[in-house]
Amino acid sequence: METTCNCKDSPIRIGLIVACSENGVIGRDGDLPWHLPEDLKHFMRSTKGHAVVMGRKTFESLEKPLGGRLNIVISRSMPIEESIPGELTVMRSLREAIEAGRAADISENGFGKGLIWIAGGGEIYKQAFEVADLVLRTRVHCEIEGDTYFPSIDSDDWALEQIEEHQSDDRHDFGFTIERWVRRD
C-alpha cells in the first residue's frame, strides 16, 4: 500500500471530510446511507475551490465531477486519459494524488488555498488518516447498518476545536453534529 509522502514538510495541509454514523458507518451498497441536504451543502461549501481527492468507487457514485473543484480520482483501473484539465485528474496512488493536489494548489490558476480535501471512501480514508492534519467529521446521530466505515478518532492524538449542531426535521431523518478535529503536535 503506497501512502508515503513528505506531507509534514509541506505548508499545504491535508483534511479529511466525512459524514459517519455513531457506529462509524459511512456507506452502504456504494452510496450514502442517508439523505442530509444541509450536510451536503456544508460539504459543497467547505470543498469549493479546493482539490478534492477520492477513490474510484466514490467518484463513480457521483453523477458527474464536482464543479468548481479539481477532482483527483485514485484508481488502478480508470484510464489516465479520462483526465480533463482543470477538472478531473486520474492518479495511481494516494501519494501521487496528494502531489497533484499540491501542484494544483501552487499553480497560478490553482485550486487549493493551502488545503487539500480527501473525500473518501472507506479505502481512501483508511490510507489517508495517518497523513491528515485535520478531520471535518459530520457525526450523524444514528446507529445504522452499512458496509463501509471511517476510523475512530483518538482524542489523545486529535483535538476537537469546533462543533456545530443540527437537529433532525422533516428534511433530515437524523440530527447531526459537524466536528472539526485537528491533529495534536
Ligand X SMILES: NC(=O)c1ccc[n+]([C@@H]2O[C@H](COP(=O)([O-])OP(=O)(O)OC[C@H]3O[C@@H](n4cnc5c(N)ncnc54)[C@H](OP(=O)(O)O)[C@@H]3O)[C@@H](O)[C@H]2O)c1
In the chain the first and final C-alpha atoms are separated, in Å, by 25
Residue 168 touches ligand X, criterion: CB under 6 A: no
Site of grid cell 454514523: 21
β-strand partners of 118: 16, 53
Residue 77 touches ligand X, criterion: CB under 6 A: yes
Residue 119 touches ligand X, criterion: CB under 6 A: yes
* C-beta closer to ligand X: residue 112 or 148: 148
Q: Are strands 88-91 and 70-74 parallel, antiparallel or unpaired?
A: parallel
Residue 2 touches ligand X, criterion: CB under 6 A: yes
Task: Please answer whether residues 66 and 184 qualify as being in contact, where contact means their C-beta atoms are separated by less than 8 angstroms.
Answer: no
CA dihedral 97, 102, 106, 111 (to 10 degrees): 60
Residue 58 touches ligand X, criterion: CB under 6 A: yes
Can you tell me which of 5, 53, 55, 136 binds ligand X, judged by CB under 6 A?
55
Q: Which spans of this chain sit near ligand X (rule: CB under 6 A)?
A: 1-2, 18-20, 26-27, 30-32, 54-58, 61, 74-78, 92-94, 119-124, 127, 148
